[in-house]
């Protein structure tokens, strides 16, 4: 008798290009066309492309974490404030001293994992609706942070700024960081049992539990991943701004935008379906729009309208497609 193995067809299926990538391609081509016709500069220049990736990095990393939370049937609204907490604490502890970097990393990681654990416990053991639990957690973090810091606190040593400004050969470090997080997220979801259990719990929590899966632990784990991703984003932003300030998380609207990117990327808000690759497409679409509007010199309000339309249109398409399959 042979072992239980994944048939090859299945692996191909989960790695299949999500339709959102076609929308991403279309967005890119349209942006290229518009910028060439009306804009300043060349849209496909390396500098522009790097600009897109740079804008995508911060949101992209949070969104990868958010994908975990949403896949499991939850969501995380506390990420924006956790990003602020991380950036401020990191730069406050570092105080420009390279030798204090490891300590700062340890502290912010511990904070992040604790927040994720608490979020997970509130959602599973206390059975609080994730919207409320993580919103409350976010407000608590904001209050604690604002009570102690009003402005940029401390600074980040030169060596730590490599994270945002360094490059390995021609490749900028943020791009590497972004790629590493995406690869790790995709790998965990597609190739580990934790990932498989995330889909199982998100697909049907009762079924998963009755099949012997400790669904609570999976939900908690997903929340810890979401928080950890927010910590990485916070560190990246601290490195880019050379210091941390309490407003950088909420100013970036990382909570709602990460959820929007996940949903645009085809992950079902109810959980159980989707993945990191779709999320990345969603993030890149937003980033392309940003850069395009910059180069066209159009105000940000139009951009917001367009983003809203894209979110609604994408979800409408998914809803339509899923109905089609059933009928």
Partner 1 sequence: MIHRGGAARARTMAERQRTRSESHVTAVDPATHPPRPSAATGAPALEMRGIVKRFGPVTAVDRVDFACRVGEVHALVGENGAGKSTLMKILGGAYQADEGEVTLFGRRVTFSHPLDAQRAGISVIHQEFNLLPHRSVAQNIYLGREPHRFGLLDERALRNMVSALLHDLGIEHLVDPSAMVTDLSVAEQQMVEIAKAMSFDARVMVMDEPTAALSTREVDVLFGLIRELKARGVTVVYISHRFREIFSIADRVTVLKDGALVATREREGLESGELVRLMVGRDLADYYPDRASEDELGDVVLQVRGGGNAALHDIDLEVRAGEVLGIAGLQGAGRTELARALFGADPFTAGEVRLHGEPIELRSPRDAVRRRMGFITEDRKSEGLSLRQPIFDNVVLAYRSLRPLLGRLGREGKNGHPSVSELTASVDVRAAGLHQEVQFLSGGNQQKVVLAKWLATAKDLLIFDEPTRGIDVNGKAAIHRLIREAARDGMAVIMISSELLEVIGMSDRIVVMREGRIAGVLPGGSTEAEIMALATHGELTQEPAGNPTEEHGAVA
Measured from the CB atom, the residue of 13 and 40 that comes closer to partner 1 is: 13
Sorted by sequence, the CB contacts under 8 Å of residue 73 that are 6+ apart come out as: 201, 202, 205, 219, 270, 271, 272
Minimum CB distance to partner 1, residue 190 (Å): 8
Phi-psi region of 41 (alpha: psi -120 to 50; beta: other; left: phi over 0): left
Residue 105: exposure state from Cβ atoms within 10 A (0-12, 13-18, ≥19)? middle
Q: Which of 42, 207, 300, 302 binds partner 1 (CB under 8 A)?
A: 207
The site string for partner 1 over 164-203 (x = CB under 8 A, - otherwise) reads --------------------------xxxxxxxx-xx--x
Nearest approach, Cβ of 183 to partner 1 (angstroms)?
15
In this chain, which of 100, 209, 242, 303 binds partner 1, going by CB under 8 A? 209
Cβ proximity to partner 1: between 4 and 37 the closer is 4
User: Closest approach of Cβ 224 to partner 1, in Å?
Assistant: 12
The answer to whether 262 touches 253, Cβ cutoff 8 Å, is: no
In angstroms, give the least distance from the CB of 50 to partner 1: 34
Give the C-alpha distances (Å, rounded to integers) separating 197 from 102, 143, 212, 217.
33, 35, 11, 10
Q: Which of 9, 170, 297, 327 binds partner 1 (CB under 8 A)?
A: 9
Which C-beta is closer to partner 1: that of 32 or that of 194?
A: 194
Select 3 or 37, whichever has its Cβ closest to partner 1: 3
Q: How far apart are CA 91 and CA 77, in angstroms?
A: 23
Element housing 168 (H / E): strand 167-168
Residues 262-321 close enough to bind partner 1 by CB under 8 A? 272-273
CA atoms within 13 A on the CB side of 131: 3
Radius of gyration for the chain, computed over Cα atoms and rounded to the nearest angstrom: 20
Q: Which residues bind partner 1 (CB under 8 A)?
A: 1-7, 9-10, 13, 190-197, 199-200, 203-204, 206-214, 221, 272-273, 326
């Amino acid at each position: 008798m042979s072992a239980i193995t994944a048939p090859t067809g299945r692996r191909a299926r989960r790695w299949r290009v999500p339709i959102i990538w076609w929308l991403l391609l279309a967005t890119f081509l349209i942006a290229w066309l518009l910028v060439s016709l009306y804009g300043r500069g060349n849209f496909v220049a390396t500098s522009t492309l790097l600009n897109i990736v740079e804008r995508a990095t911060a949101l992209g990393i949070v969104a990868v974490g958010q994908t975990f939370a949403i896949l499991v049937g939850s969501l995380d609204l506390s990420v924006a404030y956790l990003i602020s907490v991380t950036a401020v604490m990191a730069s406050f502890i570092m105080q420009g001293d390279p030798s204090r970097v490891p300590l700062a990393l340890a502290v912010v990681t511990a904070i992040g994992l604790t927040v994720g654990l608490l979020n997970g416990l509130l959602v599973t053991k206390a059975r609080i609706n994730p919207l409320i639990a993580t919103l409350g957690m976010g407000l608590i973090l904001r209050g604690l942070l604002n009570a102690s810091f009003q402005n940029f606190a401390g600074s980040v040593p030169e060596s730590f700024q490599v994270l945002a400004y360094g490059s390995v050969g021609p490749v900028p470090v943020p791009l590497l960081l972004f790629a590493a997080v995406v690869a790790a997220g995709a790998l965990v979801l597609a190739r580990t049992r934790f990932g498989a259990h995330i889909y199982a719990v998100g697909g049907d929590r009762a079924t998963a539990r009755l099949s012997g899966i400790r669904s609570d632990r999976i939900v908690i784990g997903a929340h810890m991943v979401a928080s950890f991703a927010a910590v990485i984003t916070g560190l990246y932003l601290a490195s880019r701004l050379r210091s941390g300030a309490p407003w950088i998380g909420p100013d970036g609207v990382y909570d709602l935008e990460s959820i929007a990117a996940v949903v645009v990327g085809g992950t079902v808000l109810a959980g159980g379906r989707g993945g990191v690759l779709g999320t990345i497409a969603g993030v890149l679409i937003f980033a392309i729009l940003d850069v395009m509007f910059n180069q066209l010199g159009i105000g940000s309000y139009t951009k917001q309208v367009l983003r809203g339309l894209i979110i609604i249109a994408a979800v409408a398409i998914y809803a339509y497609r899923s109905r089609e399959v059933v009928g």
